[in-house]
Amino acid sequence: MPVTPSDAELVEQALSGSQAAYHTLVSRYATPAVNLAARMVQDRALAEDLAQEAFARAFERLATYDRQRRFISWFFQILHNVTIDYLRRNRPVTVSLDSVERTGDPGLAATVQDLPDALAEQAALVGALDVALARIRPEYREAVLLRYREDLSVQEIAEAMNLPVGTVKTYLYRARRELASILATQGWTSVQKGKAETSSGRTP
């Protein structure tokens, strides 16, 4: 049975000139990187460019990677800097409440219609949360994604975002409160009455 090499081993091999090792490393973290960047800039093509730049920078600085640290934590620090540089040069991307309420998530709605009521409601809530995530401050969004999607510890998030641990905890708390508040204004705290309402992503 083949043994999966660790990130540190792949880094060593890449430093020795193994393109295949770096290919494996990139393929391991391509999805989290593009997902995070896409959530930050709200544009998949741009997110791929930013993730690519982050991987290129990581490759240039591969010799400085501390083997005691998780590669993903170190890499997300680089991706954070690349993304923040971009957002500083350009206006932060947020989605207006009107557009969220008007459009919802058509792809999700089509799926939801085929599900039983309980599952449909849960899927609709996830969809609404997905859309609401685009409306909160970028730094809150990043903290939420790193904590709950990429499963980084608060300490690792603090290192990746160059922030004190206390600030990260505050960001996570405020992000949850803001998301709850957005969903509450869309009627998600009241009892849903029908599948048609859930498929639109909100209740009246």
Partner 1 sequence: MPNDRDWLRAELNDQDELAEAMFAHLAARIPTVQPSADFVDRTVQVAWRTRSRRRIVTRLVRIAALLTVIATFGSIYELRGFAVFLVVRSAVAVSHGLVWLVTSAGQGAGWWSTAERIGIAVSDAISAPPTAAALAAIEIVALFGIYAFHKLVRDELGAQK
**Residue 143: exposure state from Cβ atoms within 10 A (0-12, 13-18, ≥19):** buried
Q: Which of 99, 103, 130, 185 binds partner 1 (CB under 8 A)?
A: 130
Tell me if 55 contacts partner 1 by CB under 8 A.
yes
Segment near partner 1 (CB under 8 A); pick from 4-12, 82-90, 117-125, 159-167: 117-125
Q: Please state, in angstroms and rounded to a whole number, the distance separating the CA atoms of residues 202 and 23.
A: 42
Smaller CB separation from partner 1, 54 or 158: 54
Judged by CB under 8 A, the stretch of 63-71, 75-83, 84-92, 124-132 that binds partner 1 is 124-132
Cα separation, 82 vs 142, whole angstroms: 13
- What is residue 90's DSSP assignment? S
CA proximity to 62, closest of 16, 28, 97, 102? 16
Rounded Cα distance between 56 and 154, Å, is 26
Separation between Cα atoms, residue 58 and residue 90, nearest integer Å: 23
Of residues 4 and 19, the one with the C-beta less far from partner 1: 19
Q: Interface with partner 1 includes 52 (CB under 8 A)?
A: yes
Q: Which residues bind partner 1 (CB under 8 A)?
A: 19, 22-23, 26-27, 30-31, 33-35, 38-39, 44, 47-48, 51-52, 55-56, 59-60, 108, 121-122, 125-126, 129-130, 133, 144, 147-149, 172-173, 176-177, 179-180, 183-184, 188-189
